[in-house]
């Protein structure tokens, strides 16, 4: 399913008035230019605008201007770019228009069917764009890095920094998406972690409901025993009261009506006296109880106030602590990591130099490093110099490694400081919450103390009023006793009074038992409710335990996901895999071009960001700077084309087109010869367009795309055999 360009047509695009390229006329060609019929000037004629940007625009809607309106040639209202290509033994055409008048863009995809163009129409231009992407299996970044070889970016993989090399590998395969995935994973991890902390807090707040259920069950057994005994005692007292009433009835029949009346009044007053004494005791007990409750509430309030003071002191202590911001600490860590990376690179270079200067000089008559003649005198001098340099480098290595240890220890302390800062924030939040709860508790205790005080005062006043009533009742009893002495029924009256007083006492006991039964029945209901609540809490605790296990597992999984999406996770794994494939492809290309050349990628285990390339000439390793111009060209092209093949294989694409845009400009004569040799080797496999200003290349190609700029009338381009 190869992609091969067939025809390119641009009208009023950038500086091109009307240009048409028929790719079927050549396998490889130069792209040359001329400004206003001046053969010595070609810059700005529009070579790159046609070969690079016209294709990028029509395929991917990418253009070199900041504003899309400027893709239309100055003075015109609209532009059109058409690009025909072979794909899977079929012919396709992509067209893209821009109208500044209607401020609109239009993209269409056509397929050649039965001698005419069939519009592969989609509802929108964006869906048609997506259809094209799906068809050719490649995105803009991948296309740019695997097809468009431009000056400046051509040798980045060989000469760029480690970061630039990794960027070249990341962009085409969109590995930057893993940074977004890492951010999303961190957000989800934070949510799960907060939920996990919430569940842990709930578990702590529930305490030990199983133990409480056991204690409440024992308490219910005690309450049931009290209720059973009280019911038995009440039944016995009720029988005794009934017997007393029968005895009183018999004695009253023995008395005259007057005597009975006096006796009834006397009994009434005696009963009233008992009631008043009972009330006095009741009010007094309630007053004493209220005062005791008041004292307890006041003590609790004082304790709460002291606790509040301690909490505020604790909060003041926490807030007075000097704690750096997490952002500042993270910045320090990032700076240290940058120093660490730089330090690793420096140590690696020192190790290379140390190996270089600590090795004995070769036995031959010529140095394989500097290629100078090795006389005995020169050998002795260089040996001494190398030993001195090796000692100095070793000292630098020791010092650098010590500095790296200091940096590592400082990083460890900073990471611990981040944990301490997070704990400090949690402590402040916890103490602040406790202060709020304590203030509410003090308010409740203060309100409760007021109620107890009012209750004590009310019961004391009621007791005093009842004592006054008791004095009046005692006077009436004395008067009635005097009247009763006129009768000869004093003994009977005393028996009746005694029996009725006994009835009253027993009824009081019965009422006390009824109260005990009522209180314990209420207490039983409350205890049963508490038991049910703790049983529910126990079930909730079991559910929370399961939830905690699941959340703990989720926290671990999300932590693994965050790590997987981090720079040291999947992206690094993919890059290492790419490097393995790229090394194989590049060496295949070198085997085809120059069998004496090869290369090897080297990734440091200690510094995963480091990405070095070792070059070999006949099996002997060389640095890039030691290569000749021609050797550099072969190596650079092998890397670039190898990367193109790796990218396209991974995306399922096969683009048989290379645009080499002024990559020959910095080459020496040997590099330019190698450049031409490479193009000749590959022009049967690819359509190759070579943008250049170099006149030395003109006699190396049979065809050229001649771009001529006619000033305000715009540029035109066509395929020629003489220029």
**Strand-strand pairing, 16-22 and 104-113:** unpaired
Provide the strand spans (E) within 45-133: 78-87, 90-99, 104-113, 116-119
Mean pLDDT within 102-111: 92
Residue 77 tokens, joined: 């209202």
HSE of 123, CA atoms in CB hemisphere, 13 A: 0
Q: How high is the pLDDT of residue 108?
A: 92
pLDDT in tens, 239-250: 899 888 888 887
If pLDDT is split at 50, 70 and 90, which confidence band does 364 have? Answer: low
CATH T-level topology, domain 3-180+571-720: Rossmann fold (3.40.50)
Which strands, in side-by-side order, build the sheet including 78-87?
A: 116-119, 104-113, 90-99, 78-87, 3-13, 16-22, 715-720, 704-709, 28-35, 687-691, 657-661, 148-150
Per the DSSP assignment, residues forming a β-bridge with 3 are 87, 655
Measured distance CA(372)–CA(341) in Å, rounded: 36
pLDDT in tens, 636-679: 888 888 888 888 887 788 889 999 888 877 777 777 788 888 88
pLDDT above 80 for 717 = yes
CATH T-level topology, domain 271-465: Helix Hairpins (1.10.287)
Mean pLDDT score across all residues of the chain:
85
Q: How high is the pLDDT of residue 39?
A: 61
Measured distance CA(129)–CA(19) in Å, rounded: 24
Sign of CA pseudo-dihedral 686, 687, 692, 695? positive
Measured distance CA(618)–CA(490) in Å, rounded: 145
Q: How high is the pLDDT of residue 567?
A: 66
Q: How high is the pLDDT of residue 154?
A: 66
pLDDT above 70 for 171 = no
Query: What's the CA dihedral at 139, 163, 575, 185 to 10 degrees?
Result: -80
Measured distance CA(500)–CA(244) in Å, rounded: 8
| Range(s) of the chain covered by CATH 1.10.287 | 271-465
Q: How high is the pLDDT of residue 152?
A: 62
Q: How high is the pLDDT of residue 457?
A: 92
pLDDT in tens, 206-229: 888 899 899 989 999 999 999 999
Which position has the higher pLDDT, 119 or 489? 119
Neighbours of 325 (CB within 10 A): 9
Which position has the higher pLDDT, 569 or 32? 32
pLDDT above 90 for 532 = yes
What angle is formed at CA 668 by the lines to CA 662 and CA 671, rounded to 5 degrees? 75
Measured distance CA(68)–CA(468) in Å, rounded: 105
Check if the beta carbon of residue 607 is closer than 8 Å to that of residue 345. Answer: yes
If pLDDT is split at 50, 70 and 90, which confidence band does 372 have? Answer: low
HSE of 675, CA atoms in CB hemisphere, 13 A: 27
pLDDT in tens, 538-547: 999 899 889 8
Tell me what percent of the residues of the chain surpass a pLDDT of 90. 27
Q: Look up tokens 């991917």; give the residue.
A: 60
* Cβ burial, residue 116 (10 Å; 0-12/13-18/19+): exposed
pLDDT above 60 for 368 = no
pLDDT in tens, 439-474: 988 988 889 889 989 998 999 998 899 998 888 888
Sign of CA pseudo-dihedral 216, 222, 224, 230? negative
Tell me what percent of the residues of the chain surpass a pLDDT of 70. 89
Measured distance CA(281)–CA(260) in Å, rounded: 31
Measured distance CA(661)–CA(149) in Å, rounded: 6
| Range(s) of the chain covered by CATH 3.40.50.300 | 3-180+571-720
Measured distance CA(148)–CA(707) in Å, rounded: 19
pTM over 0.75: no
Q: How high is the pLDDT of residue 635?
A: 86
Q: How high is the pLDDT of residue 665?
A: 74
Residue 160 tokens, joined: 């760029």
Check if the beta carbon of residue 87 is closer than 8 Å to that of residue 95. Answer: no
Nearest to 659 by CA among 161, 61, 8: 8
């Amino acid at each position: 399913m190869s992609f091969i360009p067939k025809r390119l047509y641009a009208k009023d695009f950038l500086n091109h008035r009307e240009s048409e390229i028929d790719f079927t006329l050549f396998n490889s060609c130069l792209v040359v230019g001329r400004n206003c019929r001046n053969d010595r000037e070609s810059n700005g004629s529009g070579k790159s605008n046609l070969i690079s940007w016209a294709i990028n625009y029509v395929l991917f809607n990418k253009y070199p201007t900041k504003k899309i309106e400027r893709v239309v040639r100055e003075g015109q209202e609209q532009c059109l770019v058409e690009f025909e290509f072979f794909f899977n033994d079929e012919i396709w055409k992509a067209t893209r228009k821009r109208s500044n008048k209607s401020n609109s863009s239009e993209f269409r995809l056509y397929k050649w069917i039965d001698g005419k163009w069939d519009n592969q129409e989609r509802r929108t231009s964006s869906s048609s764009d997506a259809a094209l992407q799906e068809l050719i299996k490649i995105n803009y970044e991948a296309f740019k890095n695997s097809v468009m070889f431009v000056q400046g970016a051509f040798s980045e993989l060989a000469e760029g920094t480690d970061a630039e090399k990794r960027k070249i590998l990341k962009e085409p395969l969109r590995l930057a998406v893993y940074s977004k995935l890492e951010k999303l994973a961190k957000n989800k991890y934070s949510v799960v972690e907060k939920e996990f902390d919430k569940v842990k807090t709930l578990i702590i707040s529930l305490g030990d409901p199983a133990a409480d259920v056991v204690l409440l069950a024992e308490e219910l057994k005690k309450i049931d025993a009290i209720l059973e005994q009280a019911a038995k005692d009440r039944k016995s007292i009720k029988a005794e009261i009934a017997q007393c009433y029968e005895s009183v009835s018999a004695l009253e029949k023995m008395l005259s009506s007057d005597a009975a009346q006096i006796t009834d009044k006397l009994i009434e007053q005696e009963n009233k006296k008992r009631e008043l004494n009972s009330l006095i005791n009741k009010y007094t007990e309630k007053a004493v109880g209220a005062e005791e409750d008041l004292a307890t509430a006041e003590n609790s309030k004082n304790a709460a106030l002291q606790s509040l003071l301690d909490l505020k002191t604790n909060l003041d202590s926490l807030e007075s602590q000097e704690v750096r911001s997490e952002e500042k600490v993270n910045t320090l860590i990032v700076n240290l990591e940058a120093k660490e990376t730089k330090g690793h690179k420096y140590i690696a270079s020192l190790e290379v130099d140390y190996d270089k200067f600590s090795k004995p000089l070769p036995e031959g008559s010529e140095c394989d490093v500097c290629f100078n003649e090795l006389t005995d005198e020169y050998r002795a001098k260089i040996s001494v110099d190398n030993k001195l340099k090796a000692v100095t480098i070793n000292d630098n290595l020791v010092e650098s490694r010590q500095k790296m240890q200091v940096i590592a220890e400082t990083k460890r302390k900073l990471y611990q400081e981040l944990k301490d800062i997070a704990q400090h924030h949690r402590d402040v939040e916890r103490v602040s919450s406790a202060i709020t709860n304590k203030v509410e508790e003090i308010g409740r205790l203060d309100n409760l103390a007021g109620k107890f005080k009012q209750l004590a005062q009310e019961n004391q006043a009621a007791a005093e009023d009842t004592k006054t009533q008791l004095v009046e009742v005692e006077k009436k009893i004395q008067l009635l006793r005097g009247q009763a002495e006129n009768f000869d029924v004093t003994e009977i009256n005393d028996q009746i009074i005694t029996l009725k007083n006994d009835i009253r006492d027993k009824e009081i006991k019965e009422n006390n038992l009824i109260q005990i039964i009522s209180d314990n029945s209420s207490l039983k209901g409350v205890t049963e409710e508490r038991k049910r609540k703790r049983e529910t809490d126990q079930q909730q605790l079991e559910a929370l335990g399961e939830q905690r296990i699941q959340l703990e597992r989720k926290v671990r999984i999300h932590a693994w996901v965050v790590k997987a999406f981090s720079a040291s996770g999947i992206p690094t794994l993919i890059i290492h895999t790419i490097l393995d494939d790229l090394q194989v492809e590049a060496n295949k290309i070198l085997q085809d071009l120059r069998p004496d050349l090869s290369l090897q990628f080297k990734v440091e285990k200690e510094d995963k960001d480091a990405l070095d390339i070792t070059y070999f000439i006949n099996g002997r390793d060389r640095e890039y700077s030691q290569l000749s111009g021609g050797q550099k060209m072969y190596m650079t092209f092998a890397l670039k084309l190898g990367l193109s093949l790796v990218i396209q294989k991974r995306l399922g694409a096969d683009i048989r087109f290379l645009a080499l845009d002024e990559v020959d400009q910095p080459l020496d004569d040997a590099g330019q010869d190698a450049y031409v040799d490479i193009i000749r080797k590959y022009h049967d496999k690819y359509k190759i367009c070579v943008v250049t200003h170099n006149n030395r290349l003109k006699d190396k190609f049979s065809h050229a795309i001649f771009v001529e700029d006619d000033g305000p009338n715009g540029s035109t381009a066509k395929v020629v055999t003489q220029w």
